[in-house]
Structure 1
């Protein structure tokens, strides 16, 4: 039996176009029937193009569209009436609902698609989503184009379907061709047909909201109105129910070779029989069982059928609320929601489906564990860091999305206010703001990042293509607020909506109780749009456990300004603080590049500035680090960490501090490695780091600082891949510090070198027959002993990664760069013709008492070399 006779035999077709109806003439039935068939012929040619653009998809050709008359009849027969005009609108909507899944749905094909915001967002995401060349977005490679086309067609197909009923295609002879030939019918019904076709991707709530008004009759052709909600619900249910083997012919699968998730769809649909109804429940059955190798396909069938069940239930509830007495024959799907029940009609073989999906029974406990102290540690200031990060992302988004905003626009205000019920911390921004959908969705969906969700593209189309690069990536930062307070209020309003759209989400007992959503009262939301988060602090901010308490020393209390500046030292968004009734600027957008050297160091280490005099001339060594385009990658100088202890520099992420460095003061721009954002690696390349380190070597060599300090700096320079130039690296005798060049010259004329690689000699109780005090005051090394400073040049260790050594993984790194360099110099000077021994020798005296140490002795084998020994006096 042909496809044509199949759909013409369905109850819905015959009821509308064949069987007599009261107040309906045969001429009216013929009028709408013939116009549908004419449109169907053209639509068939359009959907035939889908397979070329969407390879691997189950069947979306004319046979699928015809089958929807059958599935629509299944749920509507005897339950509702439908006029010829409604049948035409329904059938036309069916023809269009998937027709835009091909480039042919766009008059200019790919050229039209490339002009859409969705295309630019998708290509940007496929290119990596962060930093990208605009040319690569405008002219992507064929590989990117081939990946983008099906994705964008899928995203836009419902939206584009709305246009197809009235859209024209230019013909070769200059005429304009339409899917609906009759101009009057196209003009009158075109918009409604398009909306109903589009609606199959809407929520049921939106269907009720946008299609609730009936369309009146087309004068002179019919007296029947169009119940748009009824037809939209009939389309979405009919489409959802068409899952049988006609969508996945086995031979077509054999020659088309679908992959991935598409292959699973084919696998389960090729087994399914046409659904039937029993006791108001749709029943799906399978002709062949699912073996254990087909388990994934069975579970996809289960998820899909469960989704059909939700559609039926949502539509049934809508029908009840409309009070028109219209209901479909089916209200649920048999077996949906229970794998064991569904397996009774869709059989398995050799295995049994049991609902063993991972569950979270104690959600508050998981949030507390993964979003609080267990992830972030006991530092309460990380909460402020996370909130500033969220505000920064919101401001970055508004800068890009709203035309006319400069790169320095936007402001964050952090306030600390004491009220009768305690201390309140408030973080407010004038960023892009949140709609109710975002506020009650991604914000409280633990582990879901809004900026990386499909909702972001729906709420703010084009934002990704405009270069939005959010700091937040894991969707857990907001939940850190419950580390410092259980009473939390989130007040937000999208910048482009009125004050009536502002909402308040209030958590009265942390994650234990359900949050309360309410409309913000007048004046409660940020004036210019954006978000404000208010937290009633558990602890006094200036006592132990408080946000201003210095847990390191327990002696100093930070000001709010010091705290915020140290948390966000190089943020590109300005931050103000309000404390004690006064307002202060804490950070200005990009000011870290122009701050005086000492002020930058004070910002980074607010408790270290009492030791400012220790920095000496080294502060003048601070230099900016720029990439080839002039983009700042850091501002820092080398300072061996033994001088400052905890006052090392910072690696920052998006302007927020993350990892503490050793041996480098200042800051380096980095990228996050963990969800807690307390671990980061700098972004600068091996070459950029080496160039900066080489410049540092020249500055330090010319500075007035002691030679041991310079030698330790040389260790760090080598660690960073730089050229140490004239920096001293070893000391011969009491105070003769030499550079590599000088050492090489001295080694040329000697045959023996005695070296300690353990740094300066110190008292050893088990071997030294002197008093420790005498050793410290009176030790005199022999004149020709070589001392190599022992200092770790390591800058940063994150997990198993050592930076910057990770930039050169193929290099043979040693524990001491200076020791390795000395060995290389000896090898080059003596042409690798020498022997090495560890020996106990006299390395000095204390008031005439010899001091013995185990050292390394290098002896040259070449008899023609100079006879002088470096150990002889």
Structure 2
């Protein structure tokens, strides 16, 4: 006799009740059907270990143990009808079968046809730096294996919906887990629902299965079925069934689990079957957890906490809806205090103290890290973060609805109502479900994008080319820098108007927000999100970053338009401005690529800072505007629009001038020596530091073109400006063309002039002055070179924590070659007919430091002047 047949639940419902049983034929039909079902499920369950070898046991021993555990959870008088027992036992049989590929008719091919698999493999490819369109035959086996395992786990519960109803095919024949077609038709759907429900959120269990249903005419009318009761039983039993039956020692030796899986095997192999003490489950260990087993102990503790929560949740639902159905257990003994738990789950040689990171004042943490401390009180940031969230929502909808790359709208409104002055940001993006609005949206520090929950909410998005800006999960909380009263109105793009929902904050993060259905006048006509924040009085703020939020500027449309354009110069969505119901479109999607050069220039700079009536100012601006060029990547996508410029060209406002890096189309940090816009990726949570995505050949081509353009304008710049241009072009990997790269005596010469001189001179060494020499005369006979060192060292430099990042980033030999000194060395080696560049170039750069010279010149007064110099000797390696 199998163990499940010894349980009270089985004996009272499906076992033979004797000759006096008036329903013996009905009971026999269910019992025999279950036994046949169990034989087939046993085969499928044994295959799970082939797909998930490191998981603890999910075979028939686990399934049978669920009867034991359910028996433990109820009192001896707990009532199940035979049909309820059949559905519960059948749900036990199939609830985990989907964790094995054998449960899928077409195996991995069927699994990989699911959208969730496509999303999961796309996430794996992105994580490992591969394009999401990598052909499956070229994907690394380990990435495929990880995706398969993750999706089997994610899909297994849902797959139970099909297992009780759909056939397996073999050689043209159909085979069912439930042989009897009438039984299958009568109960198959409900078996799948109960099995699936063990993976649901507890609120969904209450909502979806809160009903008692009748029974098929095959059975007595009083054998009705309470689905909520069954869902609660399988949920509690499956959570609580952890002991050594799930992790047999010899099986662990054979499978050799690793990592986190090993900790599960280790702790479960040490646990005895639980007992019931005062309406709680008591778990005991066979032997103490030693110091080396501490990690397994903590995994055990975490699992016991989960069990305790599941039992509490089940008890709360049943107590409020069906108190007569409450289980006899509602928690785990000792889970509230570790010193109580260690009386039964023992340790040896160490004392468990729960030192996991905790936050005692969540509201204060969110207020600080989500606002002033992280963003340094810059009120621009809150507007920027709201816009960035809207951009992500619009982009997501573009991919899901197959809209064009210029579709989508964001409207920023300023106004006043009975609560005061407000700013509102509205988009027509994907919107949010109640689940997203109340969980990921409010989960501080955890982003919804690229998470596994996104796969379920928005299937197909991960597998697209969608690249969210948001990745830290803190942007929304910057809103509270502007005010403590905030209202979020949202509607999923695929839902009706009457499903618009509202989340209201009345006192920032200090008080719990209120969730409610939208009133008729709040309902959104299209999908999307609208966030309104009522502003505190910013008149006391004096910084430039606060000025456009001051109430006196609300009615000034031109001021607001200028500020928003500077904040969002390269948006890929349409941006509208609405002030007191006066609405205008201020930015069209992607128009930064095509607007005229002067308009583009004033996307980055305020007009009032430039006197265009001044001929010199106008001439200098026009000088650069003619050099503005697009930078496109290998796929033809625009990743920049920029020009090279003098570092002192922008002199009016150090915070809002110079070329900028745009993340998601929004201004981030500045660049030295480059004017215009380069698209970039943020490198810190505040998103005020970014690195351009431009690199490689596209950047080199752009830099070379800038050299050609500037070569034609040499007479407009002094020699040091031209050297700085050459320096930047070299750093970007471009060809400096006719621009100077060094001095010969005190005359700036180009690379071509340098090469011609070296070849004509036919010298085995060159002498380089260390510094610029003032008030001196260099005799023509000396022929001293000077490589100017006081140049822009890094176009973009950022510090994130302890790490310094610069762009462009070059390493070792490449770093040397990207300097004018390296370019000089390359030309020198060409003149000396040396071909082994990689090694010798570096040598040439280092050798001269070992040949220090002191040269005596004569200053303008005829007095001797000693200067330092270096000699580079012709290396012995030559062709």
State if a TM-score over 0.5 links the two structures: yes
Match of 2:568 in 1: 568
Match of 1:313 in 2: 312
| 1:66–1:749 Cα change, 3 Å | closer
| 1:312–1:705 Cα change, 3 Å | same
Bigger shift: 471-480 or 668-677?
668-677
Match of 1:254 in 2: 253
Q: TM-score, normalised by structure 1?
A: 0.89
Q: CA shift at 1:662, angstroms?
A: 0.1
Q: CA shift at 1:284, angstroms?
A: 1.1
Does 2:101 match 1:103?
Answer: yes
Does 2:811 match 1:813?
Answer: no
Structure 2 counterparts to residues 340-359 of structure 1, below 5 A? 340-359=339-358
Structure 2 counterparts to residues 85-164 of structure 1, below 5 A? 85-128=83-126, 132-136=131-135, 140-164=139-163
Separation in structure 2 between the aligned mates of residue 861 and residue 108 of structure 1, nearest angstrom: 72
Counterpart pick for 2:213 among 208, 212, 215: 215
| 1:328–1:222 Cα change, 3 Å | same
Q: CA shift at 1:659, angstroms?
A: 2.0
Does 2:744 match 1:738?
Answer: no
Separation in structure 2 between the aligned mates of residue 167 and residue 296 of structure 1, nearest angstrom: 42
Separation in structure 1 between the aligned mates of residue 322 and residue 867 of structure 2, nearest angstrom: 97
Bigger shift: 465-474 or 786-795?
786-795
Deviations 1:688-711 (A, max 9, x none): 322322221111112252342323
| 1:796–1:838 Cα change, 3 Å | farther
Match of 1:594 in 2: 594
Deviations 1:96-119 (A, max 9, x none): 111111112122222211111111
Separation in structure 2 between the aligned mates of residue 396 and residue 139 of structure 1, nearest angstrom: 29
In 1, are the aligned partners of 2:157 and 2:195 still within 8 Å (CA)? yes
**Any idea what SS the aligned residue of 2:809 has?**
helix
Match of 2:614 in 1: none
Match of 2:290 in 1: 291
**Any idea what SS the aligned residue of 2:228 has?**
helix
**Any idea what SS the aligned residue of 1:409 has?**
coil
Does 2:724 match 1:712?
Answer: yes
Deviations 1:792-848 (A, max 9, x none): 25211122545445134433539x9445655666687689999652446345x4xxx
Separation in structure 1 between the aligned mates of residue 459 and residue 824 of structure 2, nearest angstrom: 60
Structure 2 counterparts to residues 828-867 of structure 1, below 5 A? 837-839=853-855, 841-843=857-859, 845=860, 855-856=867-868
Structure 2 counterparts to residues 36-115 of structure 1, below 5 A? 36-115=34-113
Bigger shift: 380-389 or 447-456?
447-456
Q: CA shift at 1:453, angstroms?
A: 2.8
Deviations 1:338-391 (A, max 9, x none): 222111111111111122221111222212322222222232212111111100
Does 2:723 match 1:725?
Answer: no
Match of 1:866 in 2: none
Q: CA shift at 1:412, angstroms?
A: 0.4
Separation in structure 1 between the aligned mates of residue 117 and residue 245 of structure 2, nearest angstrom: 32
| 1:853–1:740 Cα change, 3 Å | farther
In 2, are the aligned partners of 1:560 and 1:579 still within 8 Å (CA)? no
Match of 2:840 in 1: none
In 1, are the aligned partners of 2:486 and 2:532 still within 8 Å (CA)? yes
Q: TM-score, normalised by structure 2?
A: 0.88
Q: CA shift at 1:414, angstroms?
A: 1.1
Match of 2:623 in 1: 617
**Any idea what SS the aligned residue of 1:569 has?**
coil
**Any idea what SS the aligned residue of 1:425 has?**
strand
Separation in structure 1 between the aligned mates of residue 461 and residue 871 of structure 2, nearest angstrom: 68
In 1, are the aligned partners of 2:267 and 2:296 still within 8 Å (CA)? yes
Does 2:646 match 1:650?
Answer: no
Match of 1:772 in 2: none
Q: CA shift at 1:24, angstroms?
A: 4.8
Match of 1:12 in 2: 9
**Any idea what SS the aligned residue of 2:522 has?**
coil
In 1, are the aligned partners of 2:104 and 2:111 still within 8 Å (CA)? yes
Q: CA shift at 1:62, angstroms?
A: 0.9
In 1, are the aligned partners of 2:767 and 2:872 still within 8 Å (CA)? no
| 1:830–1:189 Cα change, 3 Å | closer
Q: CA shift at 1:581, angstroms?
A: 4.7
Bigger shift: 212-221 or 260-269?
212-221
Deviations 1:375-419 (A, max 9, x none): 2223221211111110001111111223x4222211001122245
**Any idea what SS the aligned residue of 2:97 has?**
coil
In 2, are the aligned partners of 1:525 and 1:531 still within 8 Å (CA)? no
What runs of 5+ residues in structure 2 fail to find an aligned partner?
612-616, 834-843, 875-879
In 2, are the aligned partners of 1:719 and 1:793 still within 8 Å (CA)? no
What runs of 5+ residues in structure 1 fail to find an aligned partner?
762-767, 769-778, 863-873
Deviations 1:245-275 (A, max 9, x none): 1110000000001112211111111111111
Counterpart pick for 1:699 among 689, 703, 709: 709
| 1:598–1:786 Cα change, 3 Å | farther
| 1:199–1:31 Cα change, 3 Å | same
Separation in structure 2 between the aligned mates of residue 753 and residue 332 of structure 1, nearest angstrom: 84
Q: CA shift at 1:625, angstroms?
A: 1.4
Q: CA shift at 1:230, angstroms?
A: 1.3
Separation in structure 2 between the aligned mates of residue 62 and residue 861 of structure 1, nearest angstrom: 80
Separation in structure 1 between the aligned mates of residue 592 and residue 90 of structure 2, nearest angstrom: 62
Deviations 1:183-217 (A, max 9, x none): 11111111111111111111332222222222212
Root-mean-square deviation (CA, aligned residues, Å) is: 3.1
In 2, are the aligned partners of 1:241 and 1:308 still within 8 Å (CA)? yes
Match of 1:577 in 2: 577
Q: CA shift at 1:851, angstroms?
A: 8.7
In 2, are the aligned partners of 1:79 and 1:326 still within 8 Å (CA)? no
Separation in structure 2 between the aligned mates of residue 266 and residue 564 of structure 1, nearest angstrom: 57
Separation in structure 2 between the aligned mates of residue 731 and residue 738 of structure 1, nearest angstrom: 6
In 2, are the aligned partners of 1:120 and 1:137 still within 8 Å (CA)? no
Deviations 1:633-681 (A, max 9, x none): 2111111213324432112222222220001111112212111111111
Q: CA shift at 1:594, angstroms?
A: 0.8
Q: CA shift at 1:737, angstroms?
A: 4.2
**Any idea what SS the aligned residue of 1:489 has?**
strand
Match of 1:764 in 2: none
| 1:95–1:24 Cα change, 3 Å | farther
Structure 2 counterparts to residues 464-479 of structure 1, below 5 A? 464-479=462-477
**Any idea what SS the aligned residue of 2:65 has?**
helix
Separation in structure 2 between the aligned mates of residue 560 and residue 429 of structure 1, nearest angstrom: 19
